[in-house]
Structure 1
Amino acid sequence: MRLLLALSALLLPLFAQAWGNHTPMCYRAFERMPEVAGAAPVKAEPLADFLHDQEAAIARTLDAQEAWARQHLQHHAPRPEALRFVPDARRSDAERRAAFIAALRLAPSSRLALYLQPDPREAAPARPSLEAAVVTVVRPAAGSTQRFVALQPGEAVAPLAVLASACDEPDYGHDLNLFDDNPGHPDYGFGKQPFGNPAVAIGSQAPFHMGFFHQGAIFNALAPNFARTFTEMRVQQYGGLAVLAWQTGHAYWGWRFAGMALHHVEDLTQPYHASAAPGATLARMMWVNLKAQLGAPADRQGLVVLQGNRHFVLEQFQTRWIIDAARQRRDGPLELALRDAARDGRYPPWSPAYVREVVAAEAFAAGPATDAAVVVGAPAKFVSDPNLDFAANEARFGPELARDLQGQREALLGQVAELLGHFGAHSRNSLRGLLSQAGGTMPH
């Protein structure tokens, strides 16, 4: 029994982020989509205005979402009744905002500020930059590519910019420390953190950004905690609010909430977020666990380090390419893949099952090929040496990785292009689904 329970702790996800900065990729994925490129500018609006104007409709929407989740999501953690969003015209804007965040079960510190992340392909905006702490509670890491500018209430802004900016937003602290065993947790009813280290804040968001839906019956029996993920819940929450905002004349928040929903869809296009260990068989995982239980944990720890390193190298490679190409206004295979709308029709129409049965299934199947491409495309010391923890030494080894990948990147480039083709297609298909729910017309 100890062996079976230990399997759930085998591969503690070291990175809760899947694709680094989603925003530059979303500019490319949506810039030629007619529903986005042709949409009229919208007026930036503080969240308090939307909440005040549509308080009763928001309450009905959140209640309907909770009822749907309890019926359709197998491992849903029911929302405590005390968190229900109840209209109250007498409360202040701050109180209403806090009640809304609690009803969604987001981190109480979530910013939800008015901001944009400009397209790095465009000239730097004339307006001054915005301090990251205004937008995110997560301290930017070394080499962070996010750059923010402020929006003013009533300012006209392109839907593409709102959407692409919001596609990165759930990584800004929305899902930190929400479980009962996290430091300073709110009483949100999520129970204990199902996997990862509950003492590490950034890791606590992993169950909201990963979905291990296709590991198989044996794995699920041995490691049932891995099935407790809340990605689908977040897609439904944000997506439903986007539809409501579009339908009620709050188009800015329609595009903003849509971007937040798409973030969780896009995370599951990353194989390391849809598979517990793309580079290891179940037999391998069980064997290293058995050895660890018998007093030889080195192989298990090595497997954890290698999976984390490969995830990190893939993310670093993709992020550096996208940002460098954008700044040089260069189109390469990754940019072409992100824009490739011919892929969209290969998949079924959007539905509540799309995230699990289409997006995550495809990413899980791509796991072995992705892991193999990382191994042959990156220097061996970064992806094959279990004694080198790349993430813990990024400042030291990052420049070396960037340099040495230049001569070995083709195998990796091809696989990343394929994955970003999935990223673009699923992002557009999901947005079409939300727009259709809003009435099938382009919101203004």
Structure 2
Amino acid sequence: MRLLIFLLALLPPVAQAWGNHSPMCYRAFERVPEVANAAAVKAEPLVDFLRAQEAEIARTLDAQEAWAREHLRGHAPRPDALRFVADADRSDADRRTAFLHALRLSPQSRLALYLQVDPREPDTSRPPLDGAQVSAVPNSKGATQRFVALQPGEAVAPLAVLASACDEPDYGHDLNLFDDNPAHPDYGFGKQPFGNPAVAISSQAPFHMAFFHQGRVFNTLAPSFARTFTELRVQQYGGLAVLAWQTGHAYWGWRFAGLALHHVQDLTQPYHASAAPGATLRYMMWVNLKAQLGAPADRQGLVVLQSNRHFVLENFQTRWIMDNARRRRDGPLEQALRDLALDGRYPAWSAGYVRDVVAAEAFTAGPRTDAAVVVGAPAQFVTDPNFDFAANEAALGPELARDIQGQRDALAREVARLLSHFGAHSRNGLRGLLRQAEEPPRIR
């Protein structure tokens, strides 16, 4: 139990992998024929899709739940009271609420009509949209998201819909869904398996992180770490994307596809696929034993360093991507995101792709990534266990960006490698969903 508590502390307080996903998705998909050549779609309010396809949505969600109960390890069965049941007489508001409950998304989820503009091609013709209309999570200092509103029926490029939605699950969809979270809905997820249940943003961690490849000993010592819901979200959103495309609701096809891909992309980040990429289990057990014997400094230091390195990697990647986008400049990260050559080196998209391909690759890359962060960032930020970067990110982010310039080559190469995986797995996932949508709907 003591080791489990220690392992829980290793997780960063913010369960975000790549900062803002949308600018990277614009680059990853902008030259993909299936996206670039797709016809413009008409923006559609969620309630219109729900009303038009209520019976099909009900059947789809029931089939997804049955599949999850049979195939997903550690799945928390959805309570039968949350089933989405077709009811033509209810109001649009009640239908929307029932849909969120059936997916077990936060009741605060916005799912508004919006776009996140490409920072490389800022749209100055549209007035900005207040972030609170799009996200239930207040913007942090230095947030890079910029939103504009869509009007019902407005023509919009699929690339913009897809790239915008790729960032959306971080807007509060998965907050406070567990039984030990404050003001939780009765969704049947049980107690939060890892992360701090008292910290709202931490409560989304089990939907955006997955430790599938830690090994038998780790899983025995910390069995709750095996309970994650990333695969569930990919299956839910992906299945809805296929249904939307097949039934003529192309806007929601691209939108749900982006929501699904967010969870795939999160697991390309080694700090989301490994509990502690910079430490072996033997070392974790050793420093924990020392702490129990009265010498906790090494244990606390490991916790701080893992968190710092996660934040430094994200800060470095986000700043570089955003700076290049605003300057309309291409560099190694943009080239890596667009690299289509890598796509065919992976197996075909399947239900096991997230676990067996994406997460396995990121877990294996963990030690190399952690070492690159240590070499590529100033020592104060990644090797000083007495320095908490997360608590000082707003003030020290610019200092990190300045100091890292002269020694960033190793880190840049590793981030480029990771973003090539981000792009390839995103494209493979999208192609897999599009292929499913081309299949004739099953006779029910």
Do both proteins adopt the same fold according to a TM-score greater than 0.5, normalized to the shorter chain?
Answer: yes
Question: Match of 1:44?
Answer: 43
Shift of 1:10: 4.2
Question: Match of 1:321?
Answer: 320
**Counterpart-to-counterpart distance in 2, 1:84 and 1:172:** 24
Match of 1:422, SS state, is helix
Shift of 1:166: 0.1
Question: Match of 2:415?
Answer: 416
1:105 and 2:104 equivalent? yes
The sequence identity of aligned pairs, in percent, is 80
Question: Match of 2:255?
Answer: 256
Question: Match of 2:172?
Answer: 173
Question: Match of 1:246?
Answer: 245
Match of 2:125, SS state, is coil
**Counterpart-to-counterpart distance in 2, 1:416 and 1:163:** 23
**CA 1:368–1:412 in 2, change beyond 3 Å: closer, same or farther?**
same
**Counterpart-to-counterpart distance in 2, 1:390 and 1:66:** 41
**Counterpart-to-counterpart distance in 2, 1:13 and 1:215:** 18
Match of 2:404, SS state, is helix
Question: Match of 1:430?
Answer: 429
Question: Match of 1:407?
Answer: 406
Match of 1:9, SS state, is helix
Shift of 1:8: 4.1
Measured against aligned partners, the alpha-carbon deviations of 1:258-277 in whole angstroms (never above 9, x if no partner) come to 00000000000000000000
Shift of 1:290: 1.2
Measured against aligned partners, the alpha-carbon deviations of 1:291-321 in whole angstroms (never above 9, x if no partner) come to 2222332222211111110000000000001
Question: Match of 2:184?
Answer: 185
**Counterpart-to-counterpart distance in 2, 1:370 and 1:429:** 23
Question: Match of 1:375?
Answer: 374
Question: Match of 2:200?
Answer: 201
**Counterpart-to-counterpart distance in 2, 1:281 and 1:189:** 34
Is contact 1:175–1:208 with CA below 8 Å preserved after alignment? yes
Q: Which runs of 5+ in 1 are unaligned?
A: none
Is contact 2:179–2:191 with CA below 8 Å preserved after alignment? yes
| Higher alpha-carbon deviation: 194-203 or 119-128 | 119-128
**CA 1:275–1:116 in 2, change beyond 3 Å: closer, same or farther?**
same
Match of 2:148, SS state, is strand
Shift of 1:148: 0.0
**CA 1:4–1:396 in 2, change beyond 3 Å: closer, same or farther?**
closer
Is contact 2:246–2:438 with CA below 8 Å preserved after alignment? yes
Is contact 1:7–1:223 with CA below 8 Å preserved after alignment? no
Is contact 2:193–2:225 with CA below 8 Å preserved after alignment? yes
Amino acid in the other structure paired with 1:430: G
Measured against aligned partners, the alpha-carbon deviations of 1:184-242 in whole angstroms (never above 9, x if no partner) come to 10000011111111010001000000010000111111111111100000000000000
Supply the RMSD in Å over aligned alpha carbons.
Answer: 1.1
Shift of 1:15: 2.4
Shift of 1:72: 0.3
Is contact 1:8–1:225 with CA below 8 Å preserved after alignment? no
* Paired residues, number: 440
Shift of 1:356: 0.2
**CA 1:200–1:3 in 2, change beyond 3 Å: closer, same or farther?**
closer
Question: Match of 1:360?
Answer: 359
Amino acid in the other structure paired with 1:114: L
Amino acid in the other structure paired with 1:11: L
Shift of 1:342: 0.4
Match of 2:368, SS state, is helix
Shift of 1:124: 3.3
Question: Match of 2:23?
Answer: 24
Aligned pairs for 1:273-352 (under 5 A) are 273-352=272-351
Match of 1:212, SS state, is coil
TM-score by length of 1: 0.98
Amino acid in the other structure paired with 2:58: A
**Counterpart-to-counterpart distance in 2, 1:90 and 1:123:** 43
Is contact 2:268–2:358 with CA below 8 Å preserved after alignment? yes
Amino acid in the other structure paired with 1:167: C
TM-score by length of 2: 0.98
Is contact 2:9–2:195 with CA below 8 Å preserved after alignment? no
